[in-house]
Amino acid sequence: MDIERLGAELGKKVVTRRELLKVAGALGGAAVLGGYSFLVRPARGAPAQTVSIMHWSHFVPAYNPELERQVATWAAQRGVAARVDFIAYRDIPARLAAEAEARRGHDIVQLRVFDTALYRRHLVPLDDVAEALERESGPWLSLARYLAFLDNRWYGIPWYYWSFPATINTEHWGRIGMGSANVAALDWSGFLEAAERLHRLGAPVGMAISQTFDANDALYPLLWSFGARTVDERGNVVIDSAETAAAVEYAKRLFRFMPREVLGWDDAANNRFMLAGAGSWTPNAPSIWAVAKLQRLPIAEKIDHVPMPRGPKGRFRSASTLALGIWRFSPNVELAKDLIRFLLRPENYGRQVEASMGYNQPFLRRLREHPYWRGERVLRFYEPSREQLAVPGWPGPAGEAAQLVYTAFVIPVMFAKAVTGEMSTAEVIRWADRELRARYRA
Amino acid sequence: MVGPVGLVVFGLIAYPLFSALYMSLTDKAIGAAGSFVGLGNFAALLRDSIFLQALRNAALYTIVAVAIKAVAGLGLAVALAALGERAAVLRALLLLPWVVPVSITALAWWWMFDPMFSVINWVLRAIGLQDAGIPWLADSTWARVAVILVNVWRGLPFFATVFLAGLLSIPREFYEAAETDGAGPVQSFVRVTLPLMRPILSLVVLYSTVMTVADFEIIYILTRGGPLNRTHLFATYAFQVGLEGTLIGRGAAIVLWMFPVLVVASYLTLRIVRRGEEYG
């Protein structure tokens, strides 16, 4: 019995207690049998031609209305309905999992770093879209292929990423006689000397060495720049190396000049550290500057971005990436593909870049030519990146193991154990080796 | 009446439980069917250093937090009972930490423990007790103190309120008889109050043990299990492995390690309830 019929029945006559119990039982049973799949199907009951898209609530608030506007424009042009659901970043894993399990939910979902690999069984191959976009605005960056071109098929369309150069307070650096250009040229050795001087001035440098995603994005580039890797291209664990030992030893020396609180930092802590004017350097995307500028804080004038220091084996920068995928169970696959192509048109993409205040970085070469980053002096080192871009887990295969290592914060914990003296350098590397092997075996 | 109730019990309790049990015996990843691996997940967890750390954390967190709540809750209840009607406003205020959603209170505490803006550290500095400030969430020992403190702060009103209700239901004649026999306040407490309160004490402690061992929000908001995994509990580690890491079978196995604790606590609770001990 459907709900409308039940309602009609209830409206017709006086309901006895027994009947009420039957109705309650039926509704309760339906709710239980429907389970949470009922809750995660926002499009249910809406017209079949409603295209829904799940997106995180962007760090730069002006981006969300621009995305909504573009989706509404597309929907009006196609004569269909469309909706963007903004979800807190932290809630995305649970939401994706629920939709994949229930095989119901949005048509288009945003896929974070390794989500495309993890959910590829449930995603529509998008070779036609990826190839068309490459013809229009390509080529794709190698990072895009690494994350979304799996088993020779595109399972997601890399949309944008944000990366982690160093955010600096130019006033503090000025007190030790260094301008942005000097800081941009530093290697880790020179950086250590500067960090000591800044520490003595009461304006320390800081990077998260804690169980937070920013810690992954700060510490992997340090590891890579010393020539160390967690795994090789085939997923063999290679952390136990002289290069890792050198990176860990360096972190121990640098930690002496950082606030001890970095061991408990969350993703927003380094933002507060810089916005309060206390810190002089931290690896972060330009959200600190964007917030300061949007809120007209005086500190905005003092903020600049520079590349991460150079190590013996190069200069690296970590990236957080987003791709768009279409669930196999979507009833609107062709419309969803069309919407993705619309969002990646150069003119639309350009407006997204502007709305995000340059935060969003493109995976397609031609889209990188947008003048926004050249116009904002503070973003000149942000896009295009001077460092080699990679994601934590690179160069190993994109998939479950890399995701498990990333979410278990194995590398930040390795560094934390070393800098706090809980274990020697050799011991922490052996510990990390065991943890990595356990996850790459799983 | 039995039908709907049975359906709800099956749908909301039995089905999720057996579903979790089944998943824990498979290598299921989110969205994939998974194959049967027997007790493989449970065995693998015994070799997982983070899980073993979470096991130790859960024991420490639960024992310390429940013990503090029980002792402090009883003390608070005795004080409120002694104050009588004069403490009516206090009693109402006391319930606030318990009725406000935990996610909100945990966020408030997170702000109070913030390394730069901690009001607690500010006070400690202002009164000259601490110059450097306590590294609440940066040091593994202090982080444990912090999460236990928040759990106690949140759970204490429940303990105190239930204990107060228990105290007020003890007939006055028992104390008068004890006084006649020459018992002082301490003797009355030990010989009259504690024995008569035993059922309610046991019930609340067992209930709180179940809730505390299964805690999630406080840890997730304050520490995400850090530093050095020293505050991870079953639920936070299961979330990390099962949802963020997508190994839902392994995640279910992590949660089910709580099962023995919950079964024992539930059995004892039911026994106490069934026994239906009454005063007098």
Q: Are residues A308 and A406 in the same domain?
A: yes
Chain B positions in Cβ-Cβ contact with residue A266 (cut-off 8 Å): 224
Residue B211 lies in a domain: yes
Chain A hits for B4, CB-CB cut-off 8 Å, are 21, 24-25, 28-29
Helix (H, G, I), strand (E, B) or coil at A205: strand
Average pLDDT on A95-111 reads 93
For residues A167 and A189, give the distance between their C-alpha atoms in angstroms, rounded to a whole number.
18
Higher pLDDT among residues B185 and B63, named by residue: B63
Residue A18 lies in a domain: no
Residues forming beta bridges with residue A56, ordered by sequence position: A87
* Count of alpha carbons within 13 angstroms of residue B208, beta-carbon side: 28
Q: How confident is the model at residue A93 (pLDDT cuts 50, 70, 90)?
A: confident
Q: Is it the case that residue A24 has pLDDT exceeding 50?
A: no
What whole-number percentage of chain B has pLDDT above 70?
98
Report ipTM for this prediction. Answer: 0.82
Contacts of A431 in chain B (CB under 8 A): 49
Domain boundary among A334, A350, A377: A377
Residue A420 domain-assigned (yes or no): yes
The answer to whether residues A313 and A324 belong to one domain is no
Of A377, A393, A413, which residue is a domain's last? A377
For residue A4, is pLDDT > 60?
A: no
Chain B positions touching A123 (Cβ under 8 A) are none
Whether residue A199 sits in one domain with residue A86: no
Give the whole-angstrom CA distance, residue B6 versus residue B23. Answer: 23
What does pLDDT average to over chain A? 89
Q: What is the DSSP letter of A57?
A: -
Within this chain, do residues A275 and A348 fall inside the same structural domain, yes or no?
no
Containing A324, the helix (H) or strand (E) segment is strand A316-326
Quote the tokens at residue A123. Answer: 């995603």
B278 at A interface, C-beta within 8 A: no
Residues A405, A259 share a domain:
yes
Q: Which residues span the domain enclosing B98?
A: 48-275
For residue B101, give how far its alpha carbon lies from the nearest alpha carbon of chain A (Å).
Answer: 18
Q: How far is CA A128 from CA A112, A340, A380, in A?
A: 21, 12, 34
Distance CA B166, CA A145 (A): 66
* Owning domain of residue A183: 166-319+385-441
Q: Are A43 and A52 in contact (CB under 8 A)?
A: yes
A41-57 residue pLDDT tens: 444 444 457 999 999 99
On whether residue B78 sits in a domain, the answer given is yes
**Euclidean distance between CA atoms A378 and A389, whole angstroms:** 19
Query: Do residue A134 and residue A185 come from a single domain?
Result: no
DSSP secondary-structure letter at A327?
A: B
**Residue A133 token pair:** 């976009």
Whether B116 has its CB under 8 Å from any CB of chain A: the answer is yes
Asked whether residue A135 falls in the same domain as residue A249, the answer is no
As a whole number, mean pLDDT of residues B147-155 equals 95
Helix, strand, or coil (residue B74): helix
The CATH number covering residue A310 comes to 3.40.190.10
Query: Do A29 and B7 form a contact (C-beta atoms < 8 A)?
Result: yes
Give the pLDDT confidence score for residue A15 in this predicted structure.
37
- Look at A28 and B48 and tell me if their CB atoms are within 8 Å: no
CB contact under 8 A, A438 and B48: yes
Q: Is A202 on the interface with B (CB under 8 A)?
A: no
How are beta strands A108-112 and A166-169 bridged, if at all? unpaired
Would residue A110 count as lying in a domain?
A: yes
Query: What is the predicted pLDDT for the residue at A26?
Result: 39
CATH of the domain at B256: 1.10.3720.10
User: What single-letter DSSP state applies at residue A202?
Assistant: T
- CA-to-CA distance for A313 and A224, rounded, in angstroms? 7
Q: How far is CA B259 from CA A138, A402, B135, in A?
A: 54, 30, 34
What per-residue confidence (pLDDT) applies to B1? Answer: 66
Same domain, residue pair A203 and A265: yes
Is B14 within 8 Å of chain A by CB? no
Considering its fold, how many domains does chain A have in total?
A: 2
Report the pLDDT value the prediction gives residue A16, as an integer from 0 to 100: 40
